[in-house]
Structure 1
Amino acid sequence: MTAAVTEVRDESTDEPAESPAGSQAASRRRWLPPAAMLLVTFIGSLLPLIRKPGFYFWDDTAGVAVGVWQRIAQDVLSGQSPFLQTDMWRGGDFIAEAATGMWNPVMLGLMIGTYPIDDVGAAITVAKILLFLLTAGGVYVLARSFGATPWLSAIAGATLSLSGWAIFMDGSSWVNGTAITAFTPWAWWALRRAYKRGFDAWSIVLAAVLCYLAPSTGNPYGVLTLAIVFLAVAVEAIVDRRPSAIGWLVSIGVGVVLTVVIVYLPFVYTSAYGFRANSGMWNDEFLSISLSDLMGLSSPTHRPYITMFGGTPMGFPGTYLGWFVLPLLPWLHWRGARMWARLAGPLVFGAVFLLFTLGPSQFGMFRWPARLVPFLYLAVILVFAVVASRGLRTDRRWVRSAVSAGIILLGAWIAWADVPGAWKWHALATAAVFAGTAVLVFWAKLGGRGFATITAGLLVFLGAQLTLTPSNRNVADYEMPSSRSALAEQFADRSDGLTVQVFDIHALVRHHPAPERWDDLLAGNMPSVAGFESTTAYSGIGFTAFDSALCLTYNGGTCAGAWDALWEEPSGYDVPLADLLNARYVVVLNDYADVEDTPPGWTETESTSVVTIFERDEAPGGATGTISFAGDDVDIASAQRSGKTDESVEVTTGSGDTRLTFARIAWPGHSATFDGEDLPVEIGPAGLLSVELPENASGTLSISFAPPGLLMGAAAAGIGVLILAACAVVGARRRARRSASPTGRL
């Protein structure tokens, strides 16, 4: 970083000087393309809601994200830590889940900002639309930095935001995917800006902040994309013969990585206790992409035959990018060494993600390569925007028209081959693509009229896609109610104890229509939205001992045998598991579990067409906090909880059985002290927290929770900030010396 470096700027983005008289008009012209882009993106993001108001309240969004977002916002607004939610059981270790977004300031702001909206489906919809707009803005500024014209940059931003995977998969189901797609172009733009400005102080600070956003979502794909962004800028520096920039990039990269250690370290310490403990490498072609699938990126009706959940083929245009991209390739100016040198970064970025997209279905922590399509397409649309900014060729029109027609027909053939039954739609779309391409080439070109033509096509084709596929049926539509206040009122009678739900989501949906299926139970993390404690929770990690005891699935459903497991006595205990859980209610899906008799101490209080509800005759716990079992030689004088995670117990013990078992999962990070002396915390039956007290003692047992690795992560973040601050200081001094030098060089 000490070698002489001349400040380098991207001449392609420099604007000509404007006279005072024309500055106002120039300002309007400058803002018109991005404003038009945001308007198109906004309109496009609303189209799915016409036929399906719950389009964005779908699958994992409804099952996991909404519950997590609501709880984090609630805790932050009330001044509490959101790290551990004991009442959400297997889904409550937010700090270990990592992918909650709690460390990301934009995601946290969206959680808090949308929390006042009572309809949680509408709230998450607002957040997703804002992320679509953020994606468009990021692609716009990134394309401009590479020299694309304002209108082509606006086309690029709207296109990626409204592409098939962005809308139908990430948009409807995986909000973290939408977020990473939104943050990646901003990180790339900021890092490249720092490089082009010679790493001055403010550009380093901006790059550090924006580069932090993608990995801080907690999704490992954010780490991957950021790493490839740094690689892309490094390649650009090598091509520009600025090797000293590599030192800056490494320093900034190390600093950013250290700041996000705190996001992932608790997961590392906890993963061994859940179902993410072993991540290997294999290929079963699940959500795997082929080259022929990518060749349909400009075919609006192409629904590629890609294996998805349930073994069914993809039923939506998941590899569609934009109708105009491939047909216009024969009309572009492809020659120019300087242009290709400038595009070295996007080419490397795209090549890496092409390899990942065509790779195995499981690669360590990374699975389902189709998830990476948006990042491959980010590179594609960037290269297209930059090359197309040189205008369209007008020579050899017949040859170019023939090649363009061949590309369109090939795309139509690929679309028809995968779904031959929709031949009428394929024919209509093909004719429309022919017409749109002709309008672009022979009349509109690629300025403002071209933007209007292309984006009108984007919206029309998106409307047609939504007519064919109103929603993503490859994933689950829970159709759960979304009014937080109505849910709280509906389940108000469950607020005084734990509810164990014995059901399978597929059996429930198959046999019972909405909304009656949700009158007495809720799936995923929605019990937390309704305000009642439940073992039902959607988790990306789970807790194996607890999951195995009740044969819980990732989304909180159970096997039918969970009913019998509740009434069995774990080894070494003389009470059933239901007592160890401090269960107050058990809700069983009818005709699912083999329920013959009402267990002793319980009463069947209600039976509907969907479920049968059992209630304990006497409320468990009482004044004993979460204690569910005490050994014969333990006398509990009092017990109370402190905050959401800690509790203390005044006890006296004898010389026999001095165990205490708590109705809470023994997540790593729990600790116990007895009158200030450390006691080992054990994993008891079903993964419950258990402590062996000293014999013949009297004192206070304190249970507390501190996320594992939190201090180490905080220390790493501190070091990362110091490294970044040092980079900024050095950058400021170098810039000052350069400014003072008569030659403008160091």
Structure 2
Amino acid sequence: MLISKGSNDKKEKNQLGAKMQKTDEILKNGTIAVLYSVLVSVFVVALCEIRFKSFFTLDDSYNEYLGFMRQYGQSWLSGEIPFITKNIMIGGNAMVELQRAIFAPQNILASLIAAKSANPLAPGLFYAFINIFLSCLSGYSIGKSFGISRNLSLVLGFFIAINPIFLYQYAGPWWNAANGHTWSLVAIATFCLLRQSMTAWRVVANFLATLILLSSGWPHGIIGYFVIVGCISLVDLRYGEAFNLVVKRCLPLVLAGIAAIPVYSEFIVLSGLVNRPSGWNNAGNFMVPSVTQLLLTFSPTYFEFMNYFGGFKSFFVPVGFSTIFFLLALFFYRVSFLDKNIVLFAVILAATLCLSMLPSQTGMLRWPIRFVPYFSVFASVATFYVMSRGEKVNSLVRKNGFLSIVLVLFVVSAFRNIFERPKVVLLEAGTSLLLVGLWFFCVEKRKPVDIATSSWLKAATVPAFCLALMLACMPSLGKVYLPVHTLPSHMALPENVNWDGNFASFTGWAPEEPVEPGELQSALFGYYDIRSINGSSPNGHKYLDQVLAYYSSHAVLQPEESMANLSQAVPGLENVCWFNLFGVSSLAIRADIQEDVGSGLEGCGYHPAQLSHDQSVLYYSSEQHYPTTLTYTTNPNVKVARETNDSVTLTVPEHTDPLKLVFSRVWWPGYVAHGLTCPVTIHGFGTMLLGADIPAGCSGELKVSYFPVTWAYTLYCPVLAVIGLGLLLLQIRRNQKLRRILEDL
């Protein structure tokens, strides 16, 4: 008995020691991965900003997000949820504009930065650092979950963090896409870890990552994640995994979907008012990559013609680039095609390739180039898996095949680009030399370098060099493909213009260096705290868009049509133009169209006030003042006591006739009245502006506020999801206790 007891004690000590050693190793590797990801993030952000100052603030990021983010930040700081933005009319309902993701952690922090910082580039730099850090760390975690060595997983994370579509198209112009793509990577990483072992912290991590992904409002990220999870689950089932276990792994995803229902419920219910383009077409093959761009995934300098913004032209971004090691893994490593993970990678690559080849418009989804990063991610994962687990082989046939592809790629690329951009030939030569150098040092050399065991710092020079090649060719999408604005930290308002109300700009696209309000566009007015009927929205409002005619989602107002609509008299109201109900106290037009629109403006009470500094913009002003969004009332004694983004509090005096109120707020179901003892009718005046009808003899304090109409029913969903998550965690803990008891026996 004593011998048996001593033997058991020794066994327990050995098991405990092994567990502690494993825990220490995980902590050590995790710490290295975090520090590595921080260094990668700092390096990438610094190099991109050195190459092009506003690399991370372009196009949509300032036309839409910068202005709205500042307004959202001010709402959060005042203790209010920014459902509505009263200072920006077009696109002002955040519950419909899912892409702005007001509940996503990065957006909350970025909105606070935008509200507090005087530097217009600060939010973009914050987004870039966080997203590159998380992408790199996620790449490392995905690699480790497939048994890839630590050093190769670190290099994998670096390559994933510099994915060209993510870096050029997302991190600069499309902040929402960068956020959504990043959280899809985090969700994929946590699901892959969950696939290894279903522990409590991994369940919680996957639930939170999926919930944040769903709240990001980036549909391509959500679909990409779901497709990858589906591929993993199908392959697991095909290889004999228990159905119950596969379903159980997906429960955190399902619970996160239930918790995210309030995020989408409002958009779904209000879809009848939304004016988002939808259909099924491939007009111009716009933003659809070619198969060769994806197959040549190993070259950071392979470019093709593409239908992009501005037309069909050479697009000097390596759309399909994943990792330069891909060609080495393809030629000089051998793996079994019966390997479960190789089959899995093949299935995922096939699925993501199909997604990347979808039509330009598929329902509400647009531009399949947005699915390409998922193809690139798993091309990289497959590459490093083969290099980590495969057998290195070399032969004359393989060598000749490898060098032939390198030579052909150089010749084709050189002939394609030598006339339009000659320096690309030198950069392609750099890629060819890098490929040959990697082949020589990693394969051909008598004592080849093993990247899996070499210093991670040395290995990091390869993706760093690839990034340098990309930036040498294309410093940024700005100026070449997309507009760039140099924004001042503050903007002075012209003195002779009435700013006590909404401003309306009909001057078109903004110049490169705007210096006054008449030169701004879209939602940029919100960044400078200028109340405006302008804005930005890919979703629109079906009835508002009939009055405010504009170009694209940037909502650049068409002057003739929009001003003709706004200058019309409002039916049923005497001497009132739509301009007045929109609360426009001043507006700006191009000076060269004054003769065409001037008479209509003067008929609504507007007069020329001031020319811009370069005489190209003419400001018109009205004598009317609109200090609040209350723009019309049948009783002038109705006063606004307090106003926030989501609510208006009014004092209603005693009266004998019914009162009609109109506000310069876009009407959405969800506005309700509180405070008065009589029933107040809230409606859409003209089906687009917020209106209120108060019965005769009803006085006191009236509060009109907005709250998502569906939340009365859907706010229970997050509670149910948390309860479900708790039950799942209890079951996991019980199973772990049972397993330990069985091990002790």
User: What range is the shorter-chain TM-score in?
Assistant: 0.7 to 0.9
User: Counterpart in 2 of 1:10?
Assistant: none
User: Take 2:23 and 2:720, find their aligned partners in 1: how far apart are those partners?
Assistant: 45
CA contact (8 A) 1:230 1:253 kept: no
Match of 1:596 in 2: 598
1:261-272 map, 5 Å: 261-272=261-272
- 1:372 positional shift: 1.1
> Residue 381 of structure 1 aligns with which residue?
380
Query: CA shift at 1:743, angstroms?
Result: 7.5
1:476 corresponding residue in structure 2: 482
Counterpart in 2 of 1:176?
Answer: 176
Change (3 A) 1:231 1:468: same
Alpha-carbon separation, structure 2, partners of 1:312 and 1:136: 33
- Contact 1:201-1:732 within 8 A present in 2 as well: yes
The separation in 1 between residues aligned to 2:508 and 2:670, in whole angstroms, is 31
Q: Tell me: CA distance 1:659–1:447, structure 2 relative to 1, closer, same or farther (3 Å).
A: same
Match of 2:733 in 1: 732
| Percent of aligned positions that are identical | 18
1:151-190 superposed matches below 5 A: 151-190=151-190
Match of 1:99, SS state, is helix
Q: Residues 525 and 23 of structure 1: is their aligned pair in 2 closer, same or farther, counting only changes over 3 Å?
A: closer
How far does residue 188 in structure 1 lie from its aligned partner after superposition?
1.9
- Paired position in structure 1 for 2:11: none
Letter in 2 for 1:204: V
When residues 668 and 26 of structure 1 are mapped into structure 2, their CA distance, relative to the original with a 3 A threshold, is: closer
Question: Residues 163, 207 of structure 1: CA spacing in aligned structure 2 closer, same or farther, 3 A cutoff?
Answer: closer
| Contact 2:326-2:380 within 8 A present in 1 as well | no
Q: Aligned residue for 2:526?
A: 528
Shift of 1:70: 2.2
**Higher relative contact order, chain-length normalized (CA < 8 Å, sep 6+):** 1
1:90 maps to: 90
| RMSD across aligned positions (CA) | 3.3
**Distance (whole Å) between structure 1 residues aligned to residue 430 and residue 327 of structure 2:** 12
AA aligned opposite 1:102: I
Amino acid at match of 1:390: R
CA distance in 2 between counterparts of 1:708 and 1:90 reads 20
The separation in 1 between residues aligned to 2:105 and 2:20, in whole angstroms, is 40
- Distance in 1 of aligned mates of 2:513 and 2:493: 18
- Greater Cα shift, 488-497 or 203-212: 488-497
Structure 1 residue identity aligned to 2:316: F
Spell out, residue by residue over 1:164-187, the C-alpha distance to the aligned partner (whole angstroms, 9 max, x if none).
Answer: 212211122111222223222321
1:619 maps to amino acid: H
TM-fit CA distance, 1:364:
2.0
| 1:618-657 correspondence runs (5 A) | 618-620=624-626, 625-631=628-634, 634=635, 636-647=637-648, 648-650=650-652
1:260 corresponding residue in structure 2: 260
- Which of 435, 438, 459 is 1:437 aligned to? 435
Flag as ranges the 4+ runs of structure 1 deviating above 6 A.
16-20, 22-30, 488-494
Amino acid at match of 1:228: V
CA distance in 2, matches of 1:126, 1:694: 51
Change (3 A) 1:500 1:330: closer
Alignment of 1:36-185 (within 5 A): 36=36, 38-112=38-112, 116-185=116-185
Q: Secondary structure at the match of 1:96?
A: coil
Cα distance in 1, alignment partners of residues 27 and 637 from structure 2: 74
Distance in 1 separating the partners of 2:331 and 2:93: 54
Please list, as runs of the form range in 1=range in 2, the aligned pairs for 1:210-225 lying within 5 A after superposition: 210-225=209-224
Are positions 1:671 and 2:677 aligned together?
no
Pairwise mapping of residues 363-442 of structure 1 onto structure 2 (< 5 A)? 363-390=362-389, 393-396=392-395, 398-412=396-410, 415-416=413-414, 419-422=417-420, 424-442=422-440
Q: CA deviation at 1:355?
A: 0.8
Deviation at 1:742, TM superposition (A): 4.4
Q: How far apart, CA to CA, are the structure 2 residues paired with 1:103 and 1:514?
A: 32
After TM superposition, the structure 1 stretch with the greater mean CA deviation from structure 2, 240-249 or 77-86, is 240-249
Deviates more, 1:184-193 or 1:368-377: 184-193
CA contact (8 A) 1:147 1:386 kept: yes
Determine which of 588, 592, 609 is the counterpart of 1:605: 609
Q: Is the 8 A contact 1:535 1:556 kept in 2?
A: no
Deviations 1:368-404 (A, max 9, x none): 00011111111111111111113662431x2222111
Q: Is the 8 A contact 2:507 2:518 kept in 1?
A: no
Change (3 A) 1:464 1:226: closer
- CA–CA distance in structure 2, aligned partners of residues 491 and 732 of structure 1: 68
Query: Partner residue of 2:463?
Result: 458
Cα shift at 1:499: 0.7
Contact 1:408–1:430 (8 Å) recurs in 2: no
Task: State yes or no: 1:712 paired with 2:713.
Answer: yes
Map of 1:358 onto structure 2: 357
Distance 1:87 1:715 in 2: 31
CA–CA distance in structure 1, aligned partners of residues 28 and 81 of structure 2: 46
1:291-342 CA-partner distances (Å, limit 9, x unpaired): 122133223332222211232335331414246234313444332356x313
1:61/1:175 contact within 8 Å kept: yes
Where does residue 557 of structure 2 map in the other structure? 558
Matched AA of 1:412: F
TM-score, normalization by structure 1: 0.87
Rounded Cα–Cα distance in structure 2 between residues aligned with 1:519 and 1:113: 22
Give me the whole-angstrom Cα distance separating, in 2, the residues matched to 1:104 and 1:459: 30
* Distance 1:80-1:700 versus aligned 2 partners, 3 A rule: closer
In the superposition, relative to structure 1, how do residues 108 and 662 fare at CA in structure 2: closer, same or farther (>3 Å)?
A: closer
CA distance in 2, matches of 1:115, 1:145: 40
Q: Distance in 2 between matches of 1:68 and 1:343?
A: 45
What residue is the counterpart of 2:546 in the other structure? Answer: 548
Contact 1:670–1:703 (CA<8 Å) still a contact in 2? yes
Query: Contact 2:139–2:156 (CA<8 Å) still a contact in 1?
Result: yes
User: 2:8 matched to which residue of 1?
Assistant: none
CA–CA distance in 2 between the matches of 1:540 and 1:391?
A: 47
Match of 1:237 in 2: 236
CA distance in structure 2 between the aligned counterparts of 1:440 and 1:18, rounded to whole angstroms: 38
8 Å Cα contact 1:635/1:652 also seen in 2: no
Contact between 1:296 and 1:414, CA under 8 Å: does it hold in 2?
no
Aligned residue pair count: 711
Are the structure 2 counterparts of residues 26 and 706 from structure 1 closer, same or farther at C-alpha, using a change threshold of 3 Å?
A: closer
CA 1:734–1:451 in 2, change beyond 3 Å: closer, same or farther?
closer
Deviation at 1:496, TM superposition (A): 2.9
For residues 216-269 of structure 1, what are the alpha-carbon distances to aligned partners after superposition, in whole Å with 9 as ceiling and x for unaligned? 212222321331243144235312522221331343232110111121122222
